[in-house]
Structure 1
Amino acid sequence: MRPRLKNWFKELLLDIYQVTSTLFKIMIPTLLVVKLLEEMGGVELIAWVLGPVMAFVGLPESMGLVWATTLLTNIYTGMIIFFNVAQSESLTVAQVTVVGTMMLVAHTLPIEARIAQKAGVRLGVTLLIRLSSALLLGFMLHHLYAWGGWLQQPNQLLWSPSVIDSSLQAWLVSQVQSLGMILLIISLLLTTLKLLRLLHIERLLHWLLQPVLRLLGIGPTATTITIVGFTLGLAFGGGLLIKEAKAGHVPYRDVFSAMTLLALCHSVIEDTLLILLLGADISGILWMRLLFGFLVVALVSRLMNRSSEQFHRRYLVREPEAAKP
């Protein structure tokens, strides 16, 4: 009994090390590059490009800065920029729902697109799916709300940021704290997953969710990983997926379908609550986003079934980077 328990903990520690080291190798260099781009005015440049595009989804040009910040950094930073910009704009609840939905679909792209690439999805494909989906869903919501005359009342902010320390030291402390939290969550997550597997509860989850995931083209080997990413975030689900793809446990079709779903719908609890604080309506940031994401993944999975493996290998997927010698 004791040797078996010792091996169990040894395997757990090895899994924690593999997943966190893979994520940190992606995140730390990317965070440094993004910070450098911020200091060099990269956010303002992207905002300048996105400004005219905002009219396509019924938003003022100033929202381009909000989305650009979110694309390059994260939702938290985007919320702070939104608060500052919204003071000089008269936004409706519909407009805030549109920009909030776009922030949820496409954010933290330098890190999250790189995680998808490590798992085996081509970088250009990930960027295309997330950016085009954000714009298309924003366009649909804008015209839907305008057509029905819904959510046209003035928006009311439910949150205001505290004073932010913008010094380099504060940024470094914040990043170290975030990485430490990721290590803690992954440790708890992998321990829980191992216990669920030991108690055969994981099989029950597979059995309960498999009909839905089968419709989306996601096989049983990616079920648990998809659930993790869907509820906790792409970094956690993607980190586990990289590990499983490296070991050859998940077929590349399931990798692509799972990462497509997680690209459009991940961390649905925490991220949705954050955008609600801006005054957005749940109809767009949750229900329409989920419906849109499920339809896109189901469509993508069926297109993959009708196209050749040669096409997949050339344009959509690649061998997971971690699996290369």
Structure 2
Amino acid sequence: MGYETSCEFFQRTLAESVNVAITLYKVMIPTIIVVKIFEEFGGVVWFSSFIAPLMNAVGLPSEMGLVWATAIFVNIYSALVVLINTDVTMSVAQASILSCMILLAHSMPIEVGLAKKSGVSVWWSILTRVGGALLLGWLLHLTYSATGSLQEQAKIIWQPSMETATSLAAWGISQLQNLILVFVIIVALIFVLNILKVIGIEKLIAKALSPFLRLLGISKEATNLTLIGITLGLSYGGGLLINEAKKGHIPPRDIFTAITLLGLLHSLIEDTLLMLVIGADFTAIFWGRLVFALVLVGVVSRLMRLIDGKRYERLFYRSVATA
């Protein structure tokens, strides 16, 4: 690779990073502001009282409604702060149920917004993630109740920092730092992806995984980006998928399947570790979540093939290609 070619490589990487970051920021910045206002006016507390009866249906104390509501509208870290401030003890089974529900449905305003940008309908994103969380929670509750397993008290082995922004200025600085970190991560991801393309590893990975992902209806073009979302988070994998969707490189139905999978199964490493420290069972939050997501998306993928090309497919997804 000559000097001029190297310069072009880095210029292309930076340009692609800026495009992806702008796409993410257009969703994230307005949503962060709206969620802050919603939270300040008591919207999260109101919603928690609305879903409290559902907590009992999955075997959780009603107080966990506020924890899950915080996760849905804000993020996992904020939900953990709420959790450790509730004077309620839970069994390992209950901690596992709550953790799985949080893992499937959290940071919804931003992540549903990203899904919409990729062409996936808002109602579908909400249904699969909130509905999927309740379904998995209910299935786990039935399993634990029938077997009597994991009934010992859950132990929180780590507590998140209790420091919160005391002013709008402090909150704003914190959000700005997060946005800068997002850009740095995006640059690193795209740099690695482009390197993989140059040396041909991307093709080898896609070839190895394509038979498995094909069963879920995810094309080899979306393989690497889907894996990034699964391991690092929907914001990163989703942002890259949006970029490819706008270029028309990946068919809309493949984007739909990939985004649906990422909604249920993303940030598999970091988020799993977070749930472990509040006493959840690893088998439930890792393997249970993994199997549930793959089975559900596999079924959805088969059903979506029945409406492929039909007029009402737009109820679920649409093309966002600008080319």
Scaled to the shorter chain, the TM-score interval is: over 0.9
AA aligned to 2:104 is: V
SS in 2 for 1:309: coil
Residue by residue over 1:222-255, the C-alpha shift from the partner in whole angstroms, topping out at 9 and shown as x without a partner, is 1011011010000000100010000000001110
AA aligned to 1:302 is: R
Contact 2:120 2:317 in 1 (8 A): yes
User: 2:247 matched to which residue of 1?
Assistant: 247
Distance 1:200 1:319 in 2: 29
- RMSD, aligned CA: 1.3
User: 1:174 matched to which residue of 2?
Assistant: 174
Distance 2:38 2:233 in 1: 24
Q: 1:311 deviation in Å?
A: 4.5
User: 2:31 matched to which residue of 1?
Assistant: 30
Q: 1:39 deviation in Å?
A: 0.5
AA aligned to 1:249 is: H
Q: 1:319 deviation in Å?
A: 2.8
Distance 1:311 1:233 in 2: 32
Distance 1:121 1:193 in 2: 24
- Aligned-residue sequence identity (percent) comes to 44
User: 2:193 matched to which residue of 1?
Assistant: 193
SS in 1 for 2:154: coil
Contact 2:101 2:137 in 1 (8 A): yes
SS in 1 for 2:210: helix
User: 2:160 matched to which residue of 1?
Assistant: 161
Structure 2 residue runs without a partner (length 5+): none
Contact 1:19 1:239 in 2 (8 A): yes
Distance 1:24 1:273 in 2: 27
Aligned: 1:279 with 2:309:
no
- After superposition, the Cα gap between the structure-2 partners of 1:308 and 1:4, relative to the gap in structure 1 and judged at 3 Å, is closer
AA aligned to 1:11 is: R
AA aligned to 2:159 is: S
Aligned pairs (5 A) from 1:1-325: 1-85=2-86, 88-167=87-166, 168-320=168-320, 323=321
Q: How many residues are aligned here?
A: 321
Contact 2:307 2:313 in 1 (8 A): no
Q: 1:324 deviation in Å?
A: 5.3
Contact 1:22 1:239 in 2 (8 A): yes
Distance 1:25 1:143 in 2: 41
Distance 1:54 1:183 in 2: 37
Q: Give TM-score scaled by structure 2 length.
A: 0.97
